[in-house]
Structure 1
């Protein structure tokens, strides 16, 4: 039995936090001693209170790595619990918890990379990836490829492991939800879900809504999620005169509620490490329209389970939506193919087993 520490200081909830919580619960069931370190009053803190996982609370910010007392506090926690393996998900966590783990003599210091964007070739990064990190766990091939994009010698490629995010398919497909919106006759309901931050690029969809309205399509667009750009997005919808066709329901706790409400799922992200929500849309038998960037082609099979377009091309993106608007049978066919692909590729039963084997290897 090994003591595995999950370190995640974000206050929000996203794919990385979902992965950390689900994997920690699985490893605990496998008999491992699991410890979680997270920020007080974060979404993870709230959810951990409903589990039997031990946790310690801290307060980490982007500048905490400059405070030696923050690093020493984490070191003391790691030594107290005799941690064998630590997994971090954020760059700022690596700078604090990674250094603390090195000082505490933790044997495996794993940086889980969840974003398919290149790591900067900075002096600080060269130090951390050569002297602190022992392993990198990537959630897609695209994510792995970007780790060494700026510096091929930053980290040994053979120590970068790819394991896709897994989904508990039985639970997801059997969970009953309540639609957020009931579609009107002959209406096409489009939906997206994600944090309202720059990289999620919801502004693009508001421009797409303007184009679809000009084409006189009968549709509604649900933009689910919350974040720092919410007010800005709502104001843009008013400016472009599409507020009447866009719904902003806010934070959505259950993706099923959104998926039950829509005919087509849209993802305008500028990049994705994996994209849980794409797999969830596929398991909901929804065709997908997204960009042909980063890891998205690993989750959406072009022209089979959905359409992929060039980045930020409003006209082509609207064209694909219009094709699905006029072809309900194609929507059904793509949705079924997406379900089969997601079931065969992202089943958490196999993926969690792979993760357990990976984490158990000290």
Structure 2
């Protein structure tokens, strides 16, 4: 039997957690022996239990890899599960679960890399990538490029595989038109997602006398700073922060335009969802965004941090409903052709089980 272990100790819910939930559930439902380690207080752990996926709640810190007792406990557990493949999520997961997997005799030790940030050329990283990991699974070509960007010899290129996240490509009914031109963003309220930029954008659009509503969905540590900046720039009537969004597609479907000002993305899943909803997108020309957004065809890619150019694109779409519709249709077709969930799930299954 091919026993598969997923190891994800993130407490917050994000793209990596969504991936681990979907893949572990998919393989479990197909009859493969699957076991998932997840943070005991995480949304991932709650959803795994709801999906009846075999799992165990754990609590790992950035320094757990220095704890010999946690090493011994995890190694023993992996041996007892007779794991043949382990897929890890965070760099801290690699630090503790990687060596334990090697001690337990696991044949394939995979780091699923979901963030297009260059890996530091540190002594520890060189050790893990050269002596522990057997494979790296990247969620975009942009992510793949960052693996060896600081050290060309960090990891063998032929052992880095790119498989895009999949998305349910069913057609979504067009939502009722909103009273005001509606700009939507969705993501964790954290530094990476850069929603502070959107408050500055709202102030710029207000100064241009556009009548609009900007809705920023999500929850996180930036909430207080966002609320303070909303008051400071006097855009409380234009911007709302509804919190965590239970049904993202329904939320995105309210938009006239979807925006994403992230500093980096591994695979912008929410961009694929916005395209599936036939929404034109404005985002920065960074990371994997050009792999999902067709510039000047399904949306616009602007220079990072340029509020005026970003606002120019929004203002153009504000005045051109027909262009919004054309871009939405182009984005939808791109997602259908390249990111179909069934196709991507089969690729993942083949990669994990049959390679």
| 2:244 counterpart residue number | 251
Task: Look up the match of 1:345.
Answer: 338
Alignment of 1:221 onto 2:221 = no
Q: Does 1:233 align with 2:229?
A: no
Q: Within 5 Å, which residues of 2 pair with 1:244-323?
A: 244-323=237-316
Cα distance between partner residues in 1 of 2:51 and 2:352: 21
CA contact (8 A) 1:177 1:254 kept: no
Structure 1: gaps (5+ residues): none
Task: Compute the TM-score of the two structures, normalised by the length of structure 1.
Answer: 0.96
Following superposition, the deviation at residue 177 of structure 1 comes to 11
1:58 Cα shift? Answer: 1.2
Query: Which position in structure 2 is the counterpart of 1:3?
Result: 3
Once the 2 structures are TM-superposed, how far is the Cα of residue 75 of structure 1 from its aligned partner? 1.1
What is residue 103 of structure 2 aligned with on the other side?
A: 103
- Kindly report which structure 2 residues correspond to 1:78-227, keeping only aligned pairs within 5 A, or say none: 78-170=78-170, 173=171, 183-184=178-179, 187-227=180-220
Measured after TM superposition, the shift of residue 361 of structure 1 is 3.2
SS in 1 for 2:50: coil
CA offset digits 1:91-129 (Å, max 9, x no partner)? 110001111101111110000010001000000000000
Distance in structure 2 (CA, Å) of the matches to 1:73 and 1:198: 34
Deviation readout 1:40-72 (Å, 9 max, x if unpaired): 121111101111211112111111111111222
Counterparts of 1:257 and 1:177 in 2: how far apart (Å)? 10
Aligned 8 A contact 1:177 1:257 in 2: no
Extract structure 1 runs of 4+ deviating beyond 2 A. Answer: 176-179
Distance 1:154 1:43, change over 3 A: same
**C-alpha separation in 2, matches of 1:163 and 1:30:** 20
- Alpha-carbon distance, 1:31 to partner: 2.5
8 Å CA contact 1:177–1:256 kept in 2: the answer is no
Name the residue aligned to 1:58: 58
DSSP 3-state at the match of 2:118: coil
CA positional deviation for 1:139:
0.3
Q: CA deviation at 1:29?
A: 2.7
Aligned partners of 1:177 and 1:10: how far apart in 2? 35
Aligned residues: 355
Q: How far apart, CA to CA, are the structure 1 residues paired with 2:239 and 2:71?
A: 46
Instruction: Report the secondary structure of 1:17's partner residue.
Output: helix
Q: Distance in 2 between matches of 1:177 and 1:50?
A: 30
Unaligned runs of 5+ in 2: none
